[in-house]
Structure 1
Amino acid sequence: MTATIRIDDIAIGGGRHLRVNQTGTPGRPALLFLHGSGPGVTAASNWREVLEGLGDTFHCIAPDILGFGDSSHPDPQPQGFTAQAEVRIEALLDLVDALGLEKVVLVGNSMGGMYSLRIAQLRPEIVDRIVLMGSGGMPGLAPSPGLIKLITYFDDPTVEAMADLLLEFVHDKSAFGARVEEVAAERMPIVRRPWIEAGHRAMFAPEMLGFSPDELAEIGMPTLVVHGRQDVIVPLECSHYLAEHLPRADLYVMNECGHWTQIEQAARFQAILRDFVMAEN
């Protein structure tokens, strides 16, 4: 049975709000889904199928992270990846408190994975488990050609360039290609908001958010590290690094899959996520 998505703007203080997609019943295990970066990205575009598929068992929560989609945006924009992360993570923690969540399972894709690790450092008492999907976080990792294409999108912010970029996120381009122009067109109204470009340009800088082996060793929650073998945005070696140094991590590599495991291998991803969350510690 497909769960119905509820959409709300939730106040987080300071006159700000986050646009939040939810399925399932509060009081069930809470899964907080954190999307990745990219022009025009929203929680709904990243997580719709997962929210609909898991709402029968869990309380699923997927916000547009601060500065993305229909959430508030920082003004002025913090400069640099780490500075942007600080204000966005603060907003996410405010959301957890606003919703009255005592424990959450963090499910982070790409940038959202890095934010999940940082939340686990800052507020370990609220984190039950972590799922990292194509996550960054390996210090000194050079940007891949696919990531560079994402970073430089606003040098040529057209529908055609968006469609070309979206194909970088999946391995089976023939399966996704039939609707890539439709998805690209859906993103363009958001892309054209001036604060979206401003935030994108402010975010990407030479310094990125990285975690040393010692820092990872202190994150003691059960962690599932998932990566598509054919991911050209974040290389597989990053997940090998995270799984090696997180003390309670399992690594799951999906073949014939790119950066969007939750979209390209939706049923498989939902199955392993369901099993991981319901397993005994």
Structure 2
Amino acid sequence: MTAAIRTEDVAIGGGRHLRVNQTGAPGAPALLFLHGSGPGVTAASNWREVIQGLGDTYHCIAPDILGFGDSSHPDPQPQGFTAQAEVRIDALLELVDVLGLRKVVLVGNSMGGMYALRIAQLRPDLVGKIVLMGSGGMPGLEPTPDLIKLITYFDDPTVEAMADLLIRFVHDRSAFGDTVEAVAAERMPIVRRPWIEAGHRAMFGPEMLAFGPDDLAKIDIPALVVHGRQDVIVPLECGYYLAEHLPQADLYVINKCGHWTQIEQAARFQAIVRTFVGDGTE
């Protein structure tokens, strides 16, 4: 049985809001899901099946991060990955405060994993555990050819180019059901919003958010690093790096799986999260 998703716009400071999807009961252990950076991405497109599946046990919160989906967008746009990260993370911390959450498990996909690590640096008191899935954050990691396709998507922002991009996120394209073209078409109304392209272009530059060994050594929080062996967006090398340097990390590698573990191996990913989180965030 899947949990019903409640969707609302939650006001944060400065007249801004975040579009937030929730399942489960407030007061249950809280899991905050942070999506990735692909063009047209929303929390629902990244996490819908996961939060429906886990809502029987946990209070699942999946926001459209500031500048994505139906959340407010920064105006003017911060320039660079790190500058955007700081503004967006501040907004996420405001959301946590508005919702009255005292301790959360952070579940981050790709860019969301990097944001989870940064939140753990800034507010270790707030974070009970971390799940990193296909996360970046390794210093000196050069973009893969498939990640470059994501970065340069707005040079040719067509539905065909979107479909070509999406199949790179999975090892087995049957993860999209009958047709990846239909999934691509669903993203296009968001992609065509001018501020989505502006934010995307402002985010990707020569500098990225990265965590050296000394940075990771200070994040002394239970962590689970999940990575698809066939991930061509963020290579498995990055998962090994994070697991090696986070003091309390375990690594879970899934074979025959790409970047989107939560979609391609949905039931397995949910089981992994349940085992790791247990019945609480401590």
TM-score (norm 2): 0.98
- Name the SS of the counterpart of 2:12 in structure 1: strand
Q: Secondary structure at the match of 1:82?
A: helix
> Take 1:138 and 1:8, find their aligned partners in 2: how far apart are those partners?
34
Partner of 2:222: 222
- Residues 29-60 of structure 1: CA distance to partner in whole angstroms, max 9, x if unpaired? 00000000011000000000001100000000
Q: Cα distance, 1:173 vs. partner?
A: 1.9
Displacement after TM superposition at 1:279 (Å): 6.9
Given that 1:3 and 1:54 are in contact with CA atoms closer than 8 Å, whether structure 2 keeps it comes out as yes
The reply on whether 1:40 has 2:43 as its aligned counterpart is no
Alignment of 1:267-278 (within 5 A): 267-278=267-278
1:80-119 alignment runs, 5 A limit: 80-119=80-119
The structural deviation recorded for 1:70 is 0.0
Q: Which amino acid aligns with 2:102?
A: E
1:3-50 per-residue CA deviation (whole Å, 9 max, x = no partner) reads 000001000110000000000000000000000001100000000000
Cα deviation per residue 1:180-220 (whole Å; 9 max; x = unaligned)? 11111110000000000000000000000000100100001
1:10-29 mapped onto 2 (5 Å cutoff)? 10-29=10-29
Q: Determine the C-alpha separation between the residues in 2 that align with 1:279 and 1:259.
A: 27
Alignment-derived partner of residue 169 in structure 1: 169
Using the alignment, how far apart are the partners of 1:177 and 1:22 within structure 2? 25
- Match of 2:73, SS state, is coil
Q: Deviations over 1:258-280 (max 9, x none)?
A: 00000000000000100100178
* Equivalent-residue separation in structure 2 for 1:146 and 1:19 (angstroms): 29
Is the CA contact 1:167–1:177 (under 8 Å) kept in the aligned structure 2? no
- 5 Å-filtered alignment, 1:29-178, equals 29-176=29-176, 178=178
- Structure 1 counterpart of 2:259: 259
- In 1, distance between residues paired with 2:203 and 2:224? 27
1:175: Cα distance to partner?
4.3
Determine if contact 2:29/2:279 at 8 Å carries over to the other structure: no
Work out the CA distance in 1 between the residues paired with 2:175 and 2:102.
Answer: 40
Unaligned runs of 5+ in 2: none
Q: Percent identity?
A: 84
Task: Report deviation, 1:179.
Answer: 2.4
Letter of the 1:250 counterpart: D
Alignment correspondent of 1:196: 196
CA distance in 1, matches of 2:175, 2:4: 26
Q: Which amino acid aligns with 1:85?
A: A
Partner of 2:212: 212
Structure 1 residue runs without a partner (length 5+): none
Aligned length: 281
Change beyond 3 A, Cα 1:56–1:194? same
Q: Deviations over 1:121-157 (max 9, x none)?
A: 0010000000000000000000001100000000000
- Please state whether the residue corresponding to 1:224 is helix, strand or coil: strand
Amino acid at match of 1:65: I
State the 1:178 CA deviation: 2.6
Mapped to 1, the partners of 2:71 and 2:118 lie a distance apart of 21
Runs of 4+ in 1 over 6 A off after TM superposition: none
Q: Find the aligned partners of 1:20 and 1:217 in 2 and give their Cα distance.
A: 32
**Alpha-carbon distance between aligned partners in 2 of 1:179 and 1:134, rounded to the nearest angstrom:** 24
What is the CA–CA distance in structure 2 between the aligned matches of 1:223 and 1:245, rounded to whole Å?
Answer: 11
**Contact 2:6-2:22 within 8 A present in 1 as well:** yes
